[in-house]
Amino acid sequence: MLRSSVGGRNVKVQLANVPNGVYSVYVYVWEDNKPERFSLALNDKTVLTNYNSGTAGNWDKIGPLAVTVTDGIIRLASSGGDANISGIEVWTAPGVTPAQISPPTTLATTNSVSTQSFPNPFEDVVTIQTELKTAETMNVALFNQVGRLIQKRSISFSAGVAQSSIDMSALNLPTGRYYLMFMSGSLSGKTIKLTK
């Protein structure tokens, strides 16, 4: 049962006295009436664009979203449509460097047009489909639902609408939620939620 949340356009949440370092952040969101599209920024860097909140009753755990703290503060801000934020998880990962995040204007104007995955839920193989203006090889990282790194690998896509399949059968993944984060390339910082 939801006890409290903050909602509306341009929601701002700040966590103070955070030791400087590298963190993975998860944001719990929910929808109470109609679908909204909003973006999220951490420490003034956009980490998620045009998120669709879904229909009434939908909730989601967004992340991991990488952030580096240099001033003792984690600032979370929404923009665009109404966002309902009901929780934030902050995980430290010693020795892990977050992906360099490009602003969405760079993503939209340089290469990326769209990205999706299927089937979802998946069994052993998941296919990522992109539409890119130029061919590109990107590094991705697979995380479990508590933010533990499962695997890193490279994926290559040709220009135009292209697909690349990832065979995860050797990982023996249990049923659950996973997050595939693009760590480099024009999709850097984008996270795809996967269910097995």
Query: DSSP 3-state assignment of 76?
Result: strand
* 103 pLDDT above the threshold of 60: no
DSSP letters, 120-156, are SS-SSEEEEEEEESS-EEEEEEEEETTS-EEEEEEEE
Report the pLDDT value the prediction gives residue 110, as an integer from 0 to 100: 41
> Which has the minimum average pLDDT: 38-52, 59-73, 161-175, 177-191?
177-191
Distance of CA 68 to the CA centre of its chain: 15
- 74-78, 110-114, 179-183: range with lowest mean pLDDT: 110-114
pLDDT tens, 70-82?
899 999 999 999 9
Domain 6-92 CATH assignment equals 2.60.120.260? yes
- Domain range list for the chain: 6-92, 104-195
**DSSP secondary structure code for residue 64 in this structure:** E
- Distance of alpha carbon 124 from alpha carbon 170, whole angstroms: 8
CATH of 104-195, picked from 3.30.540.10, 2.130.10.10, 3.40.50.150, 2.60.40.3080, is: 2.60.40.3080
pLDDT of residue 195: 85
Name the more confident of 188 and 171.
Answer: 171
User: Which residues, 6+ apart, have CB-to-CB distance to 91 below 8 Å?
Assistant: 23, 24, 25, 26, 64, 146, 147
| Tokens (6 digits) for 11 | 């929601």
104-195 has the same fold as 6-92: no
Q: Is residue 34 within 8 Å of residue 55, measured between CB atoms?
A: yes
- 126-179 pLDDT, tens digit per residue, is 988 888 888 999 998 888 877 788 899 999 988 888 889 999 999 999 888 888
